[in-house]
Structure 1
């Protein structure tokens, strides 16, 4: 990554139904931006017309969105049954929701983070109904529907951000205790599933994503209780340091971020009701 420039997507706006914790609620299907709204529906940005299309899910609150190989996988809070379920949505087929699995009892948590790798779904962190923040992590084989427990993370966290790069799952940010925001980053190989820490991000409660198979952190807070930041940084494995990238045009925390197939970094939303979407192209 040597040349970076801001893209045109700042003209688009987040659907706006709920900017409260959109982290992990955004992805891409065949060059179309997909957002899981707090209204329980999927919103897809059609580039040819620069407009949002809405695909309705009758009941539930979308917690997380993962897009992979033309399929949108969502973690939904089913309000009728008071449980978290995983569903699929095929945008290019019949545009219908398909049930995948129910999260096991120990994962019936609020504010978990999810990541997808080779048909395995990773669920990390969260908070119980009694408001206890956990450090648990589990993985589901989507072929068999079986769940497997990973080692516990070293840090308890909810509202955290997760991404998988080169067979390694990275988890960062989130809320650790009360209003305390974390800048600790942990990672685990998907084969041994044991956690270790890497250097912490510059900001607290940043959003992690992968750009060209490299770990990038966006936004967050410069201090635990300070206003949001527009800092963007890249983790360099050789030096084990976070290196600065061009600043976002807007300051964000608790926002969504993901990378398109052509290496464009997209950031959107945030806690303070910012419904803008912007991009950074790295060549």
Structure 2
């Protein structure tokens, strides 16, 4: 795998094992039945974001690429695609649905934050344009639930962090806004086809205190409803779901190496 600058998005649980990516560029995998970290990776790095699908920078070729990790195929990284010239951006967010890879937002080499969105078809290896999003942002969080792409948080000009949320149905790919999350910079997570936000910053500026808020978006009332708070306040952490409907949060500023779970049924 090339040198990792940033890691976005994830499928948290791979073949019954918890996969976590660290700022050290390594993949850390926890095997539940043994309750220990697998030996083929190091566990001495800062626990950052969960890894399955990643956006990385290939330092050797000075280009951004997207790769996927498979635990059941000799623990190898699989190259998916190089971002096209117009998407050679820092801080994009990616999410995979069926055979379509959604790539949204980012920041140009001149530090301009954009609101572009593209879709890569894994079958045809072709890119197609999607309507621009309403909010320009970098380092945002995207997740798929109920055939809808949700995009939240991100850095805007200033720099400031935001809590704006937009979504697009995969059938028409038209962006619309939904109510903002309570905190700024919370990662969005899909648990049993329900949209959740966890932690984040209590204010819009970098270095503001982290939060332990967990909230669920209710589509009927179009409101964010509170769930039990996390034990640790954290931002910049991993947040994802397991196959049995548990919400997992790991690492982040304030969370350290800790991992905690919440049953959401």
Whether the 8 Å CA contact 1:23–1:257 is kept in 2: the answer is no
Whether the 8 Å CA contact 1:87–1:98 is kept in 2: the answer is yes
1:40 to 5, 10, 25: 25
Whether the 8 Å CA contact 1:232–1:245 is kept in 2: the answer is yes
Displacement of 1:21: 7.2
Whether the 8 Å CA contact 1:26–1:33 is kept in 2: the answer is no
Pair 1:231 & 2:213 matched = yes
Of 33-42 and 126-135, more deviation after overlay is shown by 33-42
In structure 2, the residue matched to 1:127 is: 107
Q: Distance in 1 between matches of 2:199 and 2:211?
A: 5
User: For 1:165-217, what per-residue CA distance to the aligned partner results, in whole angstroms no more than 9, with x for missing partners?
Assistant: 11110001111112211111000111211111001111111110111101101
The alignment's TM-score, normalised by the length of structure 1, stands at: 0.83
Structure 1 residues 157 and 150, CA gap change in structure 2 (3 angstroms): same
Pair 1:51 & 2:36 matched = yes
1:248 to 230, 236, 240: 230
Gaps of at least 5 residues in structure 2 are 42-47
In structure 2, the residue matched to 1:86 is: 66
2:125 to 125, 145, 162: 145
Q: How many pairs are equivalent?
A: 254
Q: Distance in 1 between matches of 2:182 and 2:6?
A: 20
The alignment's TM-score, normalised by the length of structure 2, stands at: 0.88
Aligned Cα RMSD in Å? 2.2
User: For 1:39-95, what per-residue CA distance to the aligned partner results, in whole angstroms no more than 9, with x for missing partners?
Assistant: 333221112332223657xxxxxx9866xxxxx433221110111112233211222
Structure 1 residues 23 and 102, CA gap change in structure 2 (3 angstroms): closer
Whether the 8 Å CA contact 2:142–2:149 is kept in 1: the answer is yes
Q: Distance in 2 between matches of 1:54 and 1:90?
A: 16
In structure 1, the residue matched to 2:44 is: none
Gaps of at least 5 residues in structure 1 are 1-17, 57-62, 67-71
In structure 2, the residue matched to 1:261 is: 243
Structure 1 residues 143 and 41, CA gap change in structure 2 (3 angstroms): farther
